[in-house]
Chain A
Amino acid sequence: MLKRLRENKSAQGTLLITPTLIFMVGLLIIPLILTLIISFGKRSADGNVIYTFGLHNYIRILGISHDCPAGQTTCLDPLYVQILWRSISLAFNSTVLVILLAYPLAYFIARSHPSRRNTFLFLVLVPLWTNFVIRVYAWMMLLRTQGLINSVLGWLAGLLGIQFVPFEMLYTPGAVLVGMVYEFLPFMILPIYTSLEKIDNSLYEAAADLGANPFRTFLRVTLPLSMPGVVAGTVLVFVPVMGTFVVSDLLGGKQIILVGNLIQRQFLDARDPTFGSAASLILMVMTLIVMYFYTRKFGFGEEIVAA
């Protein structure tokens, strides 16, 4: 038995992927199919699912409504499309901002003395030891009208004898953006660092030797060779930002509703799992479409593979 397994490469492969396969089918594929089925159903009066087949939930997300002013049977309600658009543009903005912040830091760590690199990486990871929600709460403390930032500014203004009106920072789109960037920064730093760290110092020397000044070396050598890290980091940041609801819930309040919040509320508050399921699938499809075009342009973050 064992001897035959040793000789049979394909049996070895099957054996190796079986645990993951069971896990993925049981906890991802089957639930996804259930979600799809539920999304076609209707909500019963007491919040249960009536299994029918209809596209009404999807039609509702696209904004075709029957709950219209008197005299009209159908009208456009852009509420959900707005939420979807807000989610995508926030994910896009957060990702760009995260790249802009993470790249210089990753570059600094990768170019620092090897004995210090681990310390810096450790510091990058330290915030992840604290619970996600608690970290967002910390931002609430900072951004509140009577929060730390306003208190310090007020104190400074007092010293200078200027009248100070506290900034309204919490429950604004800016607060959500700051929270997202803060939460997902490490997931961009690490992959960019990894790809920068792999670039041999002699490549920088070769570029300089061939007449490239530091700026052109960066554009022609460093940046292209670190793109796999940027791509990997983008996937790690963009996808969760699209779906998360804690940050927007706590820092955005009622004003900033993202797809994640919409889904959460459908399941918990509105008790309409059918609409929640439809919104979940729309979110997934949207993310897949964005990632499809992105990876088609930049690759999956793999090395340049020999053809």
Chain B
Amino acid sequence: MSDFAVELRDVVKTFKTPEGTFINAVDHVNMQIKHGEFFSMLGSSGCGKTTSLRMVAGFEWPTEGEVYIEGQAQGHKPPFQRPVNTVFQNYALFQHLTVYQNVAFGLEMQKAPANEIKERVGRMLEMVQLNGMERRYPRQLSGGQQQRVALARALVKLPNVLLLDEPLGALDLKLRKEMQLELKAIQQKVGITFIYVTHDQEEALTMSDRIAVMSKGKVLQVGTPVEIYERPNCKFVADFIGTSNFLEGTVKSLEGDKAEVFVPALNAEVKGLVSGAVTVGSQAAISIRPEKIRLADKAALSQNCFEGRIVSSVYIGSDTHLIVEVNGLRLKVWEQNKISSLDPRAYYTVGQPVWLTLFPENTLIMAGE
């Protein structure tokens, strides 16, 4: 058994644009996906995540570099010779075939014996809770049911790797949440490596063991959901995943994983944790999550504390979303409503002066743009 289920080594995919210029949709991408892993490629549209997935499936071939599946270089192998199966974004179900025939299609292509096909299709339909629907046609099913057929059709072949291209994109929010948990449960049950493409960060955080954040054809960071959220390695990742406040400055000192950055807008040095590579004297971005800023009546620390004023307060139930102005900078602060109170004085109000504390362990320093 090879070390990785799927590996992309220095993969480039160049497309010709309608204007006749060339563009690298995937630009020197390296990825190593472990066996049994739920791996997500996350990025906005045009970041190269779908093209990367299609190169693993065999629908596209790399312009440069190589895709390995189970240690085997795939070269220009067509899709029907690769040990992977795909769940398509629009499901791509065969409208002229019944649910049963759709799921049996792949097994028929590999010429499995009839009784084996029957048994495996039956078991698979049970797993995706579609038993009893065998004789229906895809258009007689709801979106969620069609999604399950697509999943069953790909999974029934027991591929080494299952590729999923935004499979939940067409479902409504509630169903999507349900299917997220169900997909994760199915993945754990069958133990197959899943490569999941999505633009929905919450979906990626919910389901993935590891996430690759992509932008403009490049992989910016690969890590667990916690690593991606708590230690983004660049401003793009910090901005793309969740919400963040950014301050710009120059690195003054660097000691191990701690650094001090002079922020002109605050006319102060801010201490923080190095999250992405920086050097002394370089431009840096400071990222701090709105829920990690502490508000108080007075300064809690000798450094990293700033006086400001509430300029906006929105109560949303579990939290209150505030905007605090400090030296003309506006910072988002989310206060959890931990006390059940009807008294308006229990909440921050617009115009109220307040002290912000940016704890150094929550203040992340990374390369600026």
Residues of A within 8 A of B (CB): 200, 202-203, 205-213, 216, 220-221, 224-225, 303-304, 306-307
Contact = CB atoms under 8 A, between A and B. Distances in A.
Interface in B74-116: 78-80, 84-86, 88-90, 92-96, 105-106, 109-110
Interface in B125-177: 137, 139-140, 153-154, 157
A212 B92 CA distance: 15
A86 to B, nearest CB: 37
Nearest to A203: B92
Interface residues of B, number: 27
Interface string B287-303: 00000000000000000
B57 interface: yes
B95 A202 contact: no
B137 A304 contact: yes
Contact of B105 (A213, A220, A306): A220
Given A207-B94, A210-B105, 10 more contacts: A200-B92, A202-B90, A206-B93, A206-B153, A208-B78, A209-B80, A221-B94, A304-B95, A304-B137, A304-B139
Nearest to A199: B95
A241 B137 CA distance: 37
Contacts of A210: 80, 85, 105-106, 109, 153-154, 157
A211 B95 contact: no
19 contacts: A200-B90, A200-B92, A202-B89, A202-B92, A205-B59, A206-B92, A206-B153, A207-B94, A208-B78, A209-B58, A209-B59, A209-B85, A210-B80, A210-B106, A210-B157, A211-B106, A211-B109, A225-B95, A303-B95
B109 A206 contact: no
B59 A225 contact: no
A208 B106 CA distance: 9
Name, among A200, A202, A224, A307, the residue most crowded by chain B CB atoms within 10 Å (CB to CB). A202
B96 A225 contact: yes
B157 A211 contact: yes
Nearest to A227: B96
A303 to B, nearest CB: 8
Nearest to A307: B140
Contact of B80 (A200, A212, A304): A212
Contacts of B109: 210-212, 216
* Chain A at the B interface: SS class: helix
> Which 6 A-B pairs have CB atoms at the shortest separation, nearest pair first?
A210-B106, A211-B109, A202-B92, A206-B92, A208-B79, A209-B86
A304 B88 CA distance: 22
A213 B80 contact: yes
Contacts of B86: 205-206, 209
A221 B57 CA distance: 19
A306 B139 CA distance: 7
A210 B86 CA distance: 8
B90 to A, nearest CB: 6
B90 A205 contact: no
A306 B110 CA distance: 30
Interface string B204-215: 000000000000
A203 B110 CA distance: 18
| Most A C-beta atoms less than 10 A away, residue of B58, B59, B84 | B59
Contacts of B93: 206
Contacts of A200: 90, 92
Interface in B33-85: 57-59, 78-80, 84-85
A303 B139 CA distance: 11
A213 B106 CA distance: 11
Contacts of B105: 207, 210, 212, 220
B110 A211 contact: yes
B140 A202 contact: no
A225 B137 CA distance: 14
